[in-house]
Structure 1
């Protein structure tokens, strides 16, 4: 727990909190009119709604909020629907 969670791309924080059941402490970043990313089960959230973030900026710390183990649940959504994140992330 405590490992940094970094923004996949620049954007605006549209949600920061724990009101969505099953996601624990959740951050959602909107990148443009089509894309957003979600980062769930954090131990600590370091950004606020309305805040602009940069690609690679530390936005949270990994944790196990609303989960049985420490993990990061990461989603990329296009027009509100989940898409394969590997198609949008740089190669390793």
Structure 2
């Protein structure tokens, strides 16, 4: 299989490592009997980091892989691709 890398991959890795650290903290907090509010805040941080990593990966894929596959299109067909990329930001 060919190596598949994009410019944003280091940023995605950084976000996921941050989420991994937050998740370890959540487990330790639960084991230590910390208050639910504190745990919920940490879980929110995990969720946010993962969501942002996913969005970055999807947008990068659309911006590069889809463009490479589709290639040059006439303006009327181009609008459909641009609309698809724009709506995907809401995933």
- Shorter chain as normaliser: what TM range? under 0.3
The structure in which a higher percent of residues are helix is: 2
> Structure 2-normalised TM-score?
0.22
The structure in which a higher percent of residues are strand is: 1
